[in-house]
Structure 1
Amino acid sequence: MGPSVSRVAVSKLPMVGAMFWATKIVATTLGESASNFVTMAPLNLGYAVGAMIFLMAFGVTLAMQLKADRFHPVVFWSVILTTSIVGTSMSDYINRTAGLGYAGGSILLTSLLVIVLIGWRMTGQTMDVERIATTEGEVLYWTATLVSNTLGTSSGDFLSGGLGLGFRDSSLLLSGAMLVILAAHYLTPISGTALFWAAYVLTRPLGAVAENAVEKPVAQGGLGSGTTVTSSALLAVLAILVGRQMVGGHHVTRKVDAAFATDSHDPQPVGPSTATSTDGYAGKPPGRHSHRGEGDRADL
């Protein structure tokens, strides 16, 4: 019997670092503003119509992402953006039109996210985003992303409106929570995957309250810039960040041993995945702790 051949799969998700988090926050903040632009002022189409429009947009971008053969910054961040937009409109519909309120909507969506993450874990697919290299794993990732971005709007509204903290104090609170997670990543043995998902979820309400702090009228605690100006400025910043990833060494296609894409094959994979690029850039192995064989950690 000849030697076994290692199967290689390609991860279509970006490596996690400062650029990832900066782009994620801008994209989710833009999602809040873009949704308000369509569902409220100036288009005033309503939450239900907006949610249907954005769901179709999400379906298109997700289909492009799933069909891609490598990481494409424009496609990937388009899916993140559409999940943020549709999440905002669905959250507003649940909380306001359906009458669940900010607290009720937050509890419902938090429960749904927990169910999604537990179900993901039970499938045996890795939850380390830098090792996701299967279609099933990617579908689970986008399902969790859509739910977390919907939850983000509800939780942001709950903090600023339900608890009466206001937009600016809510932004400071969420920023502080992000710093605590960052410190825990470097100073504690807490699972990097758990910390990643905590930070991943928190970026959405952070973006929501930050956007409201800029967009909303002064009488409501904002700066009064309006949705048109806010959306245009955020779109420009997002375009710059995505463009930077396309030309500046972040456009990386990572090859992962297919056995490492599922925790059920080897819960303690040893050796980092390799990283290659179409422009000759050699990426670093994913995960600060990969050399320890901790395949379920994701570098913040």
Structure 2
Amino acid sequence: MNSNPSQTRANIVSKVPQITLGFWVIKIAATTLGETGGDWVTMSLKLGYLIGSAIFAVIFIGLVAAQIRAERFSPVLYWATIVATTTLGTTMADFFDRSVGIGYPGGVVIVFALLLASLGVWYKSEGSVAVQSVTTTKAEWFYWVTILFSQTLGTALGDWVAGSDEGGLGLGYEYGALIFGAGLLIVAALYYWSRLSRTAMFWAAFILTRPLGATLGDLLDKPVSQGGLEVSRLYASLILIAFMAVCVVLIPQRPARQAMQ
């Protein structure tokens, strides 16, 4: 029997996946689905941002609770929970930006502050915000709350850059996707060719994939007159669900084991 607590803790397997190229492929698909799925519920079904947020909040809490109760890493459960954060993040950002009326810049500032606060409290409580250190119930709750804030921030960022209403910069969905895609490439280059914190690079990339997905989702379902392809939100969502299902089945995924440096 191992009597070394630190060694025992190091051998605990996390219920979140290792960060690989496949992880990022599925993550971008999930964030795009969050945009089309969230807009389908709030706009196409005409339920509104508040009711849509309430629906997705219930789903989010239920899936996080299931994720925490799970005894081992489950790719299906993990990615279902990620999708729940992207859809809830979409509807929450739209509710505050549009219904409450704080506009895209105001939404970005508020959610960014919430994200920093979540990371700060998490670090102070657990001593690390590395994904591979998510091996306790408390750390899991911090992880999923932080994920939710990062998804909401990403939605607000994507809308701010691409949109022309609510104080948006009006650069369009194509340019928005190019800007955030370029940002991801820069983060990837810094990850491989610099000595910057791997944990910081992960969270930067995680945040940037959300506005990339938001702009891609808007590019798919917005009217042609607004620079989109006018694909049905429902059909776009179903296609993305099928793509994610294939990726989850075919791309090998293992639980994270070692903390980032």
Output the TM-score relative to the length of structure 1: 0.81
- Residue number among 189, 200, 211 corresponding to 1:205 in the alignment: 211
Deviation per residue, 1:27-55 (Å, 9 max, x gap): 111011101111001x1111111111111
- Residue number among 225, 230, 248 corresponding to 1:219 in the alignment: 225
Contact 2:126 2:139 in 1 (8 A): no
List runs of 5+ in structure 2 lacking aligned partners. Answer: none
- Residue number among 244, 250, 267 corresponding to 2:250 in the alignment: 244
Q: Which residue of 2 aligns with 1:32?
A: 35
Contact 1:16 1:130 in 2 (8 A): no
User: For the pair shown, which has the larger CA radius of gyration, 1 or 2?
Assistant: 1
SS in 1 for 2:132: coil
Question: 2:141 matched to 1:139?
Answer: yes
Q: Which residue of 2 aligns with 1:64?
A: 66
Partner Cα distance (2:58, 2:192) in 1:
40
Please list, as runs of the form range in 1=range in 2, the aligned pairs for 1:259-270 lying within 5 A after superposition. none
Partner Cα distance (2:4, 2:36) in 1:
52
SS in 2 for 1:168: helix
Contact 2:90 2:155 in 1 (8 A): yes
Question: 2:103 matched to 1:101?
Answer: yes
SS in 2 for 1:9: coil
- Residue number among 163, 167, 176 corresponding to 2:182 in the alignment: 176
> Would you tell me which structure has more helix in proportion to its own residues?
2
Ranked by relative contact order (alpha carbons within 8 Å, sequence separation 6 or more), the top structure is: 2
- Residue number among 52, 76, 87 corresponding to 1:85 in the alignment: 87
C-alpha root-mean-square deviation of aligned residues, in Å? 1.5
126-135 or 72-81, larger mean C-alpha shift: 126-135
Partner Cα distance (2:248, 2:35) in 1:
19
Deviation per residue, 1:240-265 (Å, 9 max, x gap): 111224xxx42x345x5xxxxxxxxx
Distance 1:3 1:134, change over 3 A: closer
Partner Cα distance (2:65, 2:248) in 1:
20
Partner Cα distance (2:193, 2:260) in 1:
18
Partner Cα distance (2:38, 2:126) in 1:
35
Partner Cα distance (2:106, 2:225) in 1:
26
Contact 1:91 1:105 in 2 (8 A): yes
Q: Which residue of 1 aligns with 2:160?
A: 158
Shift of 1:190: 0.6
Q: Which amino acid aligns with 1:216?
A: K
Contact 1:148 1:201 in 2 (8 A): yes
> Would you tell me which structure has more strand in proportion to its own residues?
1
List runs of 5+ in structure 1 lacking aligned partners. Answer: 257-272, 274-294
Partner Cα distance (2:52, 2:255) in 1:
34
Distance 1:108 1:4, change over 3 A: closer
Contact 2:93 2:153 in 1 (8 A): yes
How many residues are treated as equivalent by the alignment? 253
Identity within the alignment, %: 39
Distance 1:4 1:116, change over 3 A: closer
Deviation per residue, 1:259-290 (Å, 9 max, x gap): xxxxxxxxxxxxxx4xxxxxxxxxxxxxxxxx
Distance 1:4 1:164, change over 3 A: closer
Shift of 1:224: 1.2
Contact 2:130 2:199 in 1 (8 A): yes
